[in-house]
């Protein structure tokens, strides 16, 4: 049986940074990923990474902006730590080889981003995630570790409340394997594919979050789903906030720069929840274009600036929308983009399950609270990836070795084997698309009790149907049909937690907007939602928010 | 935003080595709007017709590099290739796995050699311990220094270039366009302290095996222009070390030949490339040429207008570029 000190699941920025930290701490490390690490979704991050390194800027302002952006649901102790680490983290990535844009004096160039008091978003054109991912992977490549490339995570193995290993599926060989681990770091990223209209990659299915939930890990604040204001109309492909940071304007069908009504001070650069609601309101009130969208205009920036600073989105717009941003407005509307919720952790990535750590979008520390600011997620992957790697390594140094057997493997995979042995049953893709329709329709930007109840009912019905799923493809080599089934099973569990949490929270805060409870209710709801898996679905409880220096105020942009 | 649909015929390569005796092409016919990406069509096939159709894909926005494949014989990203133009040109859409990498199943290829070549160029900053990084702050780098990377930071490692490259097909010693473009990225990085070593080493590690066909540049979905970066590397390698290899001596000899007579002196070029002793090994080839086209072995006369050629050389020697010339 394969054994490792530290197993990192997911090889995007958080997973890679965790692996590097654990290797630096002297542990033996294995990294599992269902994609080649350079194909991770971190590489799709466009706009940039926040660090208050400018002379006029300050760490305190970054902290304040993040607290305010979170609508006071972020834990302020965690946010303070996070923002203090920003400068050193960006410098480290520069030393690893990241090619950032520069100012004329040779320092790191910065652009303005939504919800930020100063231009503090350091960037590499509009492919900052790709630039960081390449540099980190190339740095990690100089170290010794085991890479399990194109392996799906099936489940976690926990005995007596302690993580003992993982069960994973080797796509190339079609084999399930039990891998013993003293510590496991979950860094499997987001689960945006529970929605149909999403900027997320097809691979963003929350496998690690679902596996952690299944063994008793607490999920935190799952109802807070960020919808990015500007995704291309049909494909849902992301158009970076950097486009507005560079001066892009939002206009409705009447040609009005409508953000003046919703954010009279900062217009297009309000935080994402505010801008997304504004766009949806314009569309619902009849001022959108037929088909339900508004325009993002860049033309006035000029060809040179558009093509140098926003090179990738030029290609996206031309290829995927047939529109040239140099001469035409982009048709955009909001799309699911980021999950504020995830596996609950402390600032060292530790969860409530011994030996299990988590970082990045899979985790919820929480620094984003009910709404994340642009430029904070790339930073989160690196700051907390490193913390989780250090903590997992320290834990693994003293953890005992377990003794799992091949019987443990057989038990774990028996239900999965049954999928392939059935002669009738539904294909996973049917359930996936139905789930996505339910989430788009009932658990979107604006929510109501009636919609959420219907959403819960429909997701639970899909869970029942999932028990009779069928995998038609019988091949052992690269069986994507089986991978699909694993992913849909994971996503249905997470979709249920999102809907149940959203139904319970009878207030509007950050990205969670209830039509029937339109205001923030600090007296009752200034608290984190905690979900544990129970026999009949998620069991909710609540936990206090950590405050240090900032009292809740009304949020105005 | 509704749009007319077209009837699209897909002939998709299906093969599982070790199980299937031979590859076959399965035909799927779908009605789709012409701007539909090939990937969307293939995912529709998976969802509605045959879940066993096997391919790699993830971001669907040309940034993860997963879905490169042969689309009507061109190496392209399936997420970026719209079906309309393909149907207009070829009447149907033939989908095959990338070339130069063994098929694992259907459209999924084994990329081991591609990644190995990338690792071999040491794709990370090599530092000289005598010149440590500035403590607690970034290395200064001017916008002009950032421009020196050209488009190489856009590479998404999709391997479309590797698939399109005839040199990769012909010679396993050739690292491939992506690895060389990546090498360029490190050679121009002001933070890297092994430029000279990198250039010297690549001269014998396959740099001169590039055929200059530019198919990689045509295939690249990110405009990285690998063949142009390979040309840059060749120039930098000669500047760093001189013409020490057959390839570089051929390039330098070629340049001298044209300057002298406006056309190639094949005998002289062969001597310049292989040296007097190496030339002996080329004797069988020489004999074949002598039998068929003996005039090729004689020194040609300078062409008419040789003085114009000399002027071009002088302009280039004085730092003018191709764009400056009339």
Q: What is the mean pLDDT of residues A432-439?
A: 98
B75-109: pLDDT as tens digits? 999 999 999 999 999 999 999 999 999 999 999 99
A473-503: pLDDT as tens digits? 999 999 999 999 999 999 999 999 999 999 9
Q: Specify whether the backbone of B162 is left (phi greater than 0), alpha (psi in -120 to 50) or beta.
A: alpha
The residue of chain A with its CA nearest to that of B116 is: A141
Asked whether residue A539 carries a pLDDT value surpassing 70, the answer given is yes
Asked whether residue B321 carries a pLDDT value surpassing 80, the answer given is no
Predicted pLDDT of residue B286: 86
Q: What is the DSSP letter of A72?
A: T
B112-241 homologous superfamily: Alpha-helical ferredoxin (1.10.1060.10)
Q: What is the ipTM, given to two decimal places?
A: 0.95
B280, with CB counted inside 10 A (0-12, 13-18, 19+), is exposed
Which of the residue ranges A23-37, A358-372, B282-296 would you say has the lowest mean pLDDT? Answer: B282-296
Sequence spans of domains, chain B = 6-109, 112-241, 246-324
Whole-number percent of chain A with pLDDT over 70: 100
B126, with CB counted inside 10 A (0-12, 13-18, 19+), is middle
Predicted pLDDT of residue A159: 94
Residue B280: pLDDT band by 50, 70, 90 thresholds? confident
Q: What is the mean pLDDT of residues A523-552?
A: 97
For residue B116, what are its two tokens?
């190995």
Q: H-helix or E-strand containing B166?
A: helix B166-170
Q: What is the DSSP letter of A392?
A: H
Q: What is the mean pLDDT of residues A306-311?
A: 90
CB distance A308 to A125 below 8 Å: yes
Would the CB atoms of A39 and B104 count as touching at under 8 Å?
no
Predicted pLDDT of residue B279: 87
Write out the E strands in B152-236.
none
Q: What is the mean pLDDT of residues A512-517?
A: 98
A420 interfaces chain B, CB cutoff of 8 Å:
no
Q: What is the mean pLDDT of residues A376-401?
A: 96
Whole-number percent of chain B with pLDDT over 70: 98
Q: Tell me, yes or no, if A514 is annotated catalytic.
A: no
Residue A55: pLDDT band by 50, 70, 90 thresholds? confident
Rounded Cα distance, A484 and A466, in Å: 12
Q: What is the mean pLDDT of residues A306-325?
A: 90
Query: How confident is the prediction for chain A on average, in pLDDT?
Result: 96
Would the CB atoms of B1 and A234 count as touching at under 8 Å?
yes
A397-414: pLDDT as tens digits? 999 877 899 899 999 999
Predicted pLDDT of residue A162: 96
Predicted pLDDT of residue A316: 87
Residue B1: pLDDT band by 50, 70, 90 thresholds? very low
Helix and strand numbers, DSSP H then E, in chain B: 14, 7
Torsion over CA: B312, B318, B319, B320 (sign): negative
Would the CB atoms of B61 and A429 count as touching at under 8 Å?
no
Write out the E strands in A317-394.
330-339, 342-344, 356-358, 363-364
Asked whether residue B295 carries a pLDDT value surpassing 90, the answer given is no
Contacts of B58 in chain A (CB under 8 A): 35, 39, 41, 201-203
Residue B326: pLDDT band by 50, 70, 90 thresholds? low
Mutation target vs A (from B47, B63, B67, B141; most A CBs, 10 A cutoff): B63
Q: What is the mean pLDDT of residues B116-127?
A: 97
Rounded Cα distance, A502 and A507, in Å: 9
Rounded Cα distance, A140 and B13, in Å: 36
A95-115: pLDDT as tens digits? 999 999 999 999 999 999 999
A450, with CB counted inside 10 A (0-12, 13-18, 19+), is exposed
List the 252-291 stretch of A: residues with Cβ below 8 A of B: 291
Reference B78, options B93, B91, B92; nearest CA is B93
Asked whether residue A11 carries a pLDDT value surpassing 60, the answer given is yes
The DSSP bridge pattern shows strands A146-149 and A29-33 to be: parallel
Rounded Cα distance, A380 and A189, in Å: 12
Which CATH number, 3.40.50.300, 3.30.930.10, 3.10.20.30, 3.30.420.40, labels domain B6-109? 3.10.20.30
Mutation target vs A (from B124, B147, B149; most A CBs, 10 A cutoff): B124
Predicted pLDDT of residue B3: 66
Q: What is the mean pLDDT of residues B106-115?
A: 98
Rounded Cα distance, B237 and B250, in Å: 14
Predicted pLDDT of residue A519: 97
Q: Which of A27, A244, A272, A458 is catalytic?
A: A272
Helix ranges (DSSP H) in A26-114: 59-69, 76-96
Rounded Cα distance, A286 and A303, in Å: 32
CB-nearest to B138 from A38, A107, A480 is: A107
A192 interfaces chain B, CB cutoff of 8 Å:
no
The residue of chain B with its CA nearest to that of A103 is: B143
Q: What is the mean pLDDT of residues A12-40?
A: 98
């Amino acid at each position: 049986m394969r054994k490792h000190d530290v197993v990192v699941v997911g090889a995007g920025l958080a997973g890679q940074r965790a692996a590097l930290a654990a290797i630096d701490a002297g542990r033996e490390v294995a990294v599992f990923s269902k994609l080649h690490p350079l194909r991770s979704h971190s590489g799709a991050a466009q706009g940039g990474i926040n660090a208050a390194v400018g002379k006029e800027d300050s760490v305190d302002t970054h902290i304040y902006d993040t607290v305010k952006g979170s609508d006071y649901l972020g834990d302020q102790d965690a946010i303070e730590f996070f923002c203090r680490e920003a400068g050193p983290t960006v410098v480290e990535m520069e030393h690893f080889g990241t090619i950032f844009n520069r100012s004329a004096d040779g320092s790191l160039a910065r652009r303005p981003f939504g919800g930020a008091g100063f231009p503090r978003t350091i960037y590499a054109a509009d492919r900052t995630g790709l630039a960081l991912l390449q540099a980190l992977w190339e740095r990690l490549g100089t170290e010794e570790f085991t890479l399990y490339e194109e392996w799906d995570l099936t489940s976690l193995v926990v005995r007596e409340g302690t993580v003992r290993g993982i069960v994973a599926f080797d796509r190339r060989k079609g084999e399930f394997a039990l891998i013993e681990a003293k510590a496991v770091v979950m860094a499997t990223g987001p689960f945006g594919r529970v929605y149909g209209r999403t900027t997320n990659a097809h691979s963003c299915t929350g496998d690690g979050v679902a596996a952690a939930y299944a063994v008793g890990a607490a999920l935190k604040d799952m109802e807070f789903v960020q919808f990015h204001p500007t995704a291309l109309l049909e494909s849902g492909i992301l158009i970076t906030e950097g486009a507005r940071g560079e001066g892009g304007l939002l206009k409705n069908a009447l040609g009005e720069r409508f953000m003046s009504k919703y954010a009279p001070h900062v217009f297009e650069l309000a935080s994402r929840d505010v801008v997304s609601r504004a766009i949806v309101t314009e569309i619902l009130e009849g001022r959108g274009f037929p088909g339900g969208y508004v325009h993002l205009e860049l033309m006035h920036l000029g060809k040179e600036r558009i093509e140098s600073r926003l090179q990738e989105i030029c290609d996206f717009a031309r290829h995927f929308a047939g529109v040239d941003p140099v001469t035409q407005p982009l048709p955009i509307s909001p799309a699911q983009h980021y999950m504020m919720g995830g596996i609950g952790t402390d600032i060292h990535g530790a969860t409530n399950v011994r030996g299990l750590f988590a970082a990045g979008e899979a985790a919820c520390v929480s620094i984003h609270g009910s709404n994340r600011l642009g430029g904070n997620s790339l930073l989160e992957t690196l700051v907390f990836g490193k913390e989780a790697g250090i903590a997992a390594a320290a834990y693994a140094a003293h953890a005992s070795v377990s003794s799992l057997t091949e019987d443990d493997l057989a038990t774990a995979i028996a239900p999965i084997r049954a999928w392939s042995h059935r002669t009738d049953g539904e294909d996973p893709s049917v359930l996936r698309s139905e789930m996505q329709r339910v989430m788009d329709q009932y658990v979107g930007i604006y929510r109501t009790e009636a919609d959420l109840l219907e959403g819960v009912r429909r997701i639970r019905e899909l869970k029942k149907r999932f028990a009779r799923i069928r995998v038609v493809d019988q091949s052992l080599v690269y069986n994507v049909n089986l991978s699909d089934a694993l992913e849909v099973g994971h996503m249905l569990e997470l979709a249920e937690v999102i809907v149940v949490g959203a139904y319970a929270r009878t207030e509007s805060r950050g990205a969670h907007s209830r039509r029937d409870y339109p205001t923030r209710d600090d007296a009752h709801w200034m608290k984190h939602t905690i979900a544990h898996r129970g026999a009949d679905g998620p069991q909710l409880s609540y936990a206090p928010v950590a405050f240090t220096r900032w009292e809740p105020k009304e949020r105005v942009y | 935003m509704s749009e007319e649909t077209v009837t699209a015929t897909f002939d998709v390569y299906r093969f599982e080595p070790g199980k299937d005796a031979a590859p076959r092409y399965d035909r799927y016919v779908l009605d789709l709007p012409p701007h539909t990406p090939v990937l969307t069509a293939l995912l529709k096939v998976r969802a509605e017709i045959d879940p066993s159709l096997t391919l790699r894909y993830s971001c669907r926005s040309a940034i993860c590099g997963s879905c490169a494949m042969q689309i009507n014989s061109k190496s392209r990203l399936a997420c970026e290739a719209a079906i309309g133009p393909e149907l207009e040109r070829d009447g149907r859409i033939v989908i095959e796995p990338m070339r130069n990498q063994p098929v694992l199943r259907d459209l999924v290829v084994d990329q081991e050699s591609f990644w190995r070549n990338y690792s071999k160029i040491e794709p990370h900053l090599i530092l000289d311990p005598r010149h440590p990084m500035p403590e607690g702050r970034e290395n200064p780098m001017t916008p002009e220094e950032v421009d020196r990377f050209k488009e190489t930071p856009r590479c998404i490692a999709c391997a479309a270039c590797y698939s399109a490259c005839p040199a990769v097909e012909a010679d396993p010693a050739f690292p491939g366009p992506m690895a060389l473009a990546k090498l360029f990225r490190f050679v121009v990085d002001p933070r890297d302290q092994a430029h000279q070593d990198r250039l010297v080493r690549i001269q014998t590690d396959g740099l001169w095996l590039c055929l200059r066909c530019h198919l990689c540049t045509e295939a690249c979905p990110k405009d990285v222009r690998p063949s142009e970066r390979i040309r840059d590397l060749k120039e930098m390698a000669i500047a760093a070390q001189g013409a020490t290899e057959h390839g570089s001596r051929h390039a330098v000899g070629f340049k001298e030949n044209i300057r002298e007579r406006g056309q190639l002196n094949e005998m002289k070029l062969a001597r310049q490339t292989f040296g007097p002793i190496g030339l002996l090994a080329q004797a069988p080839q020489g004999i074949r040429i002598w039998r068929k086209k003996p005039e090729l072995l004689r020194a040609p006369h300078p062409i008419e207008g040789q003085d114009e050629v000399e002027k071009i050389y002088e302009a280039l020697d004085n730092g003018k570029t191709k764009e400056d010339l009339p």
